[in-house]
């Protein structure tokens, strides 16, 4: 590594992957409840499993973004990180707050707002940690070279922090409460997090394709413009049924239907850059995760989101397993795979050895990706059946659940396969490397 403070990223990546493993275990346990309803019903109710699963997802993705930022900023700014000590302290606070929230959930200590269940004091600690990170990263950028990648990345991270502040506001009016709740839940993942995704993707493409930075940065501006143009007003498709004015139906429908565009642009962007670069990068596992993330994000967030975003379709499909299918594939494609891509790219440099269990890493890619695709199809078919029986035929919710058991078995099997894929990825990252060569001897010409 050219910059010593890039090592700051290592504990962030380690902690992110540990929490990733915990997240998929909680998810599999929740999937088992759909098949065996009495599973751990006394010791750990289903809503606690689900809460732990979703909260761990958000926390480890954020820690992964923090680590990725600390890894790329020295190279982008041509400067060391402003304060490594502050970064470690920030991580300790963030992990302590997350662990406290997770343990508290097991004892029924939570606020009950989906995704925002953390007690207020935990939210305060998370905010302090986030602000310490922004202070550290911003000063690193300010004292060094400014590139489109670092500026867009910091814009996304600052906007994520600003929208997080709505977590502290809980108006008595339920419609307003839900509206501000979506400011965080939707605008994060389909707005400002897309800026983070585009900038990390741009960094990986520069390093692995060898294409000129100027070309990649032009694409980056187009994607950022599309993400903000469609994502902010596209939030309106969540306002259909929460008591907000009727004009949100055409506005939300129109702009959310366009949300597929930035994801399609990222597919074209990534594949075109690899085709144009014509470069056989030594880290093929990182290349695979990078190309995989744009494809799966396009289908999960773009296509599956588009399928039920228009109000006259959403009227029937809202809250069914189609939503679960969209949510699982969108998060996996857009943000889980992105984190695994940059960890796959950075870890050989951080550990000073490569090639680095790439075959095992690529096996984990195919197992996880195939399993998530299978899970998505199973949940989609379950959602179609559920929509017909429950919303058209008028059967009760529990009667319909009995008709969906086969799909839930499929979903559980896919979940177990994802756990196996995660275990392989962890072994590929932290297990002994089959061939250990000093990283400097295998570096690509452009620093990749």
For 285-334, give the secondary structure using H, E and C: HHHHHHHHHHHHHHHHHHHHHHHCCCHHHHHHHCCCHHHHHHHHHHHHHH
How many helices, marked H, and strands, marked E, lie in the chain? Answer: 18, 0
**Residue 151 lies inside a defined structural domain of this protein:** no
Query: Is the same domain home to 16 and 108?
Result: yes
Render 166-212 in DSSP notation, one character per residue. Answer: GGG---SSHHHHHHHHHHHHHHIIIIIHHHHHHHHHHHHHHHHH---
Per-residue CA distances from 131 to 32, 89, 305, 328 (Å)? 38, 12, 32, 29
**Residue 17 lies inside a defined structural domain of this protein:** yes
Per-residue CA distances from 333 to 180, 340, 358, 365 (Å)? 26, 10, 20, 11
pLDDT, tens digit, 9 for 90 and up, residues 38-62 = 999 888 999 999 999 999 999 999 9
Token pair in block for residue 161: 């922090």
Q: How far is CA 388 from the centre of its chain?
A: 31
Q: Tell me how crowded residue 367 is: count the other CB atoms within 10 A of its CB.
A: 19
Contacts of 423 (CB under 8 A, 6+ apart): 21
The span from the CA of 220 to the CA of 226, in Å, is: 10
Query: Is the same domain home to 79 and 40?
Result: yes
Query: Is the same domain home to 127 and 178?
Result: no
Q: How many domains is the chain partitioned into structurally? A: 3
Query: Is the same domain home to 1 and 142?
Result: yes
Helix (H) or strand (E) holding 48: helix 46-77
Query: Is the same domain home to 3 and 102?
Result: yes
Query: Is the same domain home to 93 and 204?
Result: no
Q: Are 381 and 54 in contact (CB under 8 A)?
A: no
Q: What is the Rg, in whole angstroms, of the alpha carbon atoms belonging to the chain? A: 21
Q: Are 69 and 340 in contact (CB under 8 A)?
A: no
pLDDT, tens digit, 9 for 90 and up, residues 334-390 = 999 999 999 999 999 898 876 578 899 999 999 999 999 999 999 999 999 999 999
Domain that holds residue 50: 1-146
Look up tokens 């600390």; give the residue: 70
Query: Is the same domain home to 97 and 221?
Result: no
Angle between helices 260-277 and 213-234 (to 10 degrees): 170
Q: Are 195 and 260 in contact (CB under 8 A)?
A: no
Q: What angle do CA 210, 74, 85 make, to 5 degrees?
A: 150
**Residue 378 lies inside a defined structural domain of this protein:** yes
Token pair in block for residue 152: 């867009």
Q: What is the pLDDT of residue 88?
A: 97
Q: Are 219 and 269 in contact (CB under 8 A)?
A: yes
Query: Is the same domain home to 224 and 361?
Result: no
Termini Cα distance of the chain: 10
Q: What is the pLDDT of residue 352?
A: 83
With 0-12 CB in 10 A as exposed, 13-18 as middle and 19+ as buried, what is 284? middle
Which 8-state DSSP code applies to residue 320?
S
Which 8-state DSSP code applies to residue 353?
B
Query: Is the same domain home to 127 and 209?
Result: no
Q: Are 334 and 279 in contact (CB under 8 A)?
A: no
Q: What is the pLDDT of residue 210?
A: 85
Helix (H, G, I), strand (E, B), or coil: what is residue 246? coil
Look up tokens 């982008």; give the residue: 76
Query: Is the same domain home to 17 and 91?
Result: yes
**The domain boundary residue, chosen from 226, 249, 280:** 280
Query: Is the same domain home to 98 and 172?
Result: no
**Residue 248 lies inside a defined structural domain of this protein:** yes
**The domain boundary residue, chosen from 247, 280, 313:** 280
Mean pLDDT by 10 residues, the chain (448 residues): 92 97 96 94 92 95 97 96 97 96 92 88 96 97 95 95 93 91 86 92 92 88 89 90 92 92 90 83 92 94 92 93 95 96 94 80 97 97 96 94 96 97 95 61 45
Q: What is the pLDDT of residue 355?
A: 58
List the one residue out of 276, 275, 260 whose CA is nearest residue 223.
260
Tell me the H-state helices in 188-283: 193-209, 213-234, 248-257, 260-277
Q: What is the pLDDT of residue 112?
A: 82
Give yes or no for a cis peptide into 422 (omega within 30° of 0): no
Q: Tell me how crowded residue 211 is: count the other CB atoms within 10 A of its CB.
A: 20
Which 8-state DSSP code applies to residue 388?
I
Q: What is the pLDDT of residue 300?
A: 93
Query: Is the same domain home to 394 and 311?
Result: yes
**The domain boundary residue, chosen from 92, 116, 146:** 146
The span from the CA of 381 to the CA of 373, in Å, is: 12
List the one residue out of 3, 15, 10, 2 whose CA is nearest residue 346.
10
**Residue 447 lies inside a defined structural domain of this protein:** no
The span from the CA of 239 to the CA of 422, in Å, is: 36
**Residue 71 lies inside a defined structural domain of this protein:** yes
**Residue 156 lies inside a defined structural domain of this protein:** no
Token pair in block for residue 275: 């085709």
**323 — phi, psi (to 5°)?**
-60, -40
Q: What is the pLDDT of residue 448?
A: 47
**Residue 390 lies inside a defined structural domain of this protein:** yes
């Amino acid at each position: 590594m050219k910059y010593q403070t890039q090592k700051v990223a290592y504990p962030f990546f380690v902690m992110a992957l540990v929490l990733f493993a915990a997240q998929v275990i909680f998810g599999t346990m929740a999937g088992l409840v759909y098949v065996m309803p009495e599973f751990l019903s006394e010791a750990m109710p289903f809503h606690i499993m689900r809460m732990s699963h979703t909260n761990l997802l958000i926390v480890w993705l954020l820690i992964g973004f923090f680590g990725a930022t600390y890894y790329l900023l020295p190279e982008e700014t041509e400067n060391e990180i402003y304060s490594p000590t502050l970064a470690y302290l920030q991580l300790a606070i963030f992990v302590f707050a997350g662990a406290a929230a997770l343990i508290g959930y097991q004892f029924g200590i939570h606020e009950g707002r989906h995704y925002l269940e953390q007690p207020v004091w935990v939210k305060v600690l998370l905010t302090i940690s986030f602000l310490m990170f922004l202070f550290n990263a911003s000063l690193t950028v300010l004292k060094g070279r400014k590139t489109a990648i670092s500026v867009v990345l910091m814009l996304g991270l600052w906007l994520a922090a600003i929208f997080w502040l709505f977590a502290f506001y809980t108006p008595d009016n339920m419609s307003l409460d839900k509206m501000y709740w979506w400011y965080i839940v939707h605008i994060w993942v389909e707005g400002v997090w897309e800026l983070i995704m585009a900038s990390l993707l741009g960094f990986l493409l520069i390093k692995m394709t060898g294409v000129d930075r100027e070309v990649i940065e032009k694409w980056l501006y187009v994607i950022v413009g599309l993400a903000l143009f469609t994502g902010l007003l596209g939030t309106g498709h969540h306002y259909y049924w929460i008591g907000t004015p009727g004009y949100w139906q055409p506005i939300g429908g129109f702009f959310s239907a366009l949300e597929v565009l930035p994801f399609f642009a990222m597919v074209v962007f990534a594949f075109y850059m690899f085709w144009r670069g014509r470069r056989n990068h030594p880290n093929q596992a990182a290349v695979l995760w990078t190309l995989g993330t744009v494809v799966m994000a396009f289908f999960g967030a773009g296509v599956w989101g588009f399928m039920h975003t228009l109000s006259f379709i959403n009227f029937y499909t809202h809250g069914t397993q189609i939503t679960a299918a969209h949510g699982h594939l969108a998060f996996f494609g857009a943000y889980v795979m992105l984190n695994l891509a940059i960890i796959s790219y950075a870890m050989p440099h951080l550990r000073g050895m490569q090639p680095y269990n790439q075959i095992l890493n690529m096996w984990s890619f195919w197992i996880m990706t195939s399993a998530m695709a299978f899970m998505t199809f199973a949940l989609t078919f379950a959602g179609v059946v559920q929509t017909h029986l429950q919303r058209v035929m008028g059967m009760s919710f529990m009667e319909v659940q009995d008709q969906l058991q086969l799909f839930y078995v499929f979903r559980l099997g896919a979940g177990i396969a994802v756990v196996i894929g995660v275990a392989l990825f962890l072994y590929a990252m932290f297990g002994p490397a089959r061939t250990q060569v000093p990283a400097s001897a295998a570096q690509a010409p452009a620093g990749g």
